[in-house]
Amino acid sequence: MVCEPDETDLDIHIPAVMLPQDAGASLEKMLMNSSSVFVQLYSPRRPLVDIAEVFLWLMAVGTILCASYWSAWSAREAAIEQDKLLKDASDEFPTVKDTGTGGVVDINTASAILFVVVASCFLVMLYEFMSDWFIELLVVLFAIGGAEGLQTCLVAFLSRWFKRTAESFIRVPFLGAVSHLTLAVSPFCIAFAVVWAVRRTVSFAWIGQDVLGIALIITVLQIVRIPNLKVGTVLLSCAFLYDIFWVFVSKKLFHESVMIVVARGDRSGEDGIPMLLKIPRMFDPWGGYSIIGFGDILLPGLLIAFSLRYDWLAKKNLRAGYFLWAMLAYGLGLLVTYVALNLMDGHGQPALLYIVPFTLGTFLALGRKRGDLKVLWTKGEPERVCPHIRLEPAEESSQEEN
């Protein structure tokens, strides 16, 4: 049929049927085998809220909660250890300066901006070169990182009961000194990651992916920290713009949402990249998964973990501190994300569009109201005067003259 260019009054009715991917594969297989196929049209209603979204919300909030308490506990232990060192050194040195906490990386403003730039480049590379072999590479990298994260979490958890095993070390070639507990836990973690990578296409493989992902996120939040609110504001503001651009604005440049295409794995033939948490939609007749990216947990988690570290060092209770309110703001922001997702009939939404204003806005407003904003913005921790530090001779003589 040929239509004229200026012909607008067309009465064309072409029925279209949408099938889940597994149903389409089964139908195609039966047709290729010359089987008799009978199709009954059925248009079920999707539930307004699926229980999978509730569990995903609990997983995201619980991950940040666990990571924040671990990070704050490590910071408090480091502060106690520092005070002990100052006490022991006070007889030899007039002043002692903190040299930082070992094993922890504090990001700065430049690193925060660079992170978003690198993430954008990586996202474009995923979009342009996504294929089976590229997904396989990501699976291998994720399995390595997940096994390392799972090992770190298990060793930290089990060391409370197996303290002697955790504190006894053995020298391993190429690795150096490794605790006996780490050697005992490592084979299980490696086997878990390998089994998931090999069997990741089975229906229950999402459980292994979520376990590895949560362990990896908690480990990163333990290692990487923001030193003050200024860095946190720059990081989350850049991530806010990043999420909006690659979900909404990228449609004008690439004719489709780059973020959504990559997350769903539309060009790879698989269920998407492994760097996300997912739960199958339990009561949705169309199936599929509810997903949340690592960045939607990790980036706000850096700010929330910072808030709890500050509260513990400042000896603030939950109500007078910042952690409780930042945690509630994150939970509310994520809840609004799912509400918007359902109102938009399942179209992908940038979670940070809702999470960042809630979380960062609450922190800034509370800090200004309580008069702590200057300290939070610059130093990132309360003033701690150690009673074991002695004044330098010059300072003592100046006080005597006064």
Residues recognised as catalytic: 243, 296
Please say whether the dihedral angle defined by the alpha carbons of residues 372, 377, 378 and 382, taken in this order, is positive or negative: positive
Distance CA 331, CA 339 (A): 12
Q: How far is residue 387's CA from residue 146's CA, in Å, rounded to a whole number? A: 43
Coil, strand or helix: which one is 171?
strand
- What are φ and ψ of residue 175, in 5° steps? -115, -20
Spell out where 76-151 has E strands: 105-106
Task: Spell out the alpha helix ranges (H) of 4-108.
Answer: 21-32, 51-89
Q: Tokens 């979900």 sit at which residue?
A: 247
**What DSSP string runs through 277-311?**
EEEE-SS-TT--EEEEETHHHHHHHHHHHHHHHHH
Instruction: Please answer whether residues 139 and 197 qualify as being in contact, where contact means their C-beta atoms are separated by less than 8 angstroms.
Output: yes
CB neighbours of 234 closer than 8 A, spacing ≥ 6?
109, 112, 113
Total residues belonging to the chain:
402
Query: Coil, strand or helix: which one is 386?
Result: coil
List, as one string, the DSSP characters of 320-354: TSSHHHHHHHHHHHHHHHHHHHHHTTT----THHH
* Angle subtended by helix axes 352-370 and 295-313, to nearest 10: 20
Distance (Å, rounded) from C-alpha 342 to C-alpha 365? 30
As a whole number of angstroms, the distance between CA 329 and CA 363 comes to 9
Q: Which of 337, 368, 340, 119 is nearest to 238 (CA)?
A: 119
Cα(233)–Cα(132) distance, rounded to whole angstroms? 37
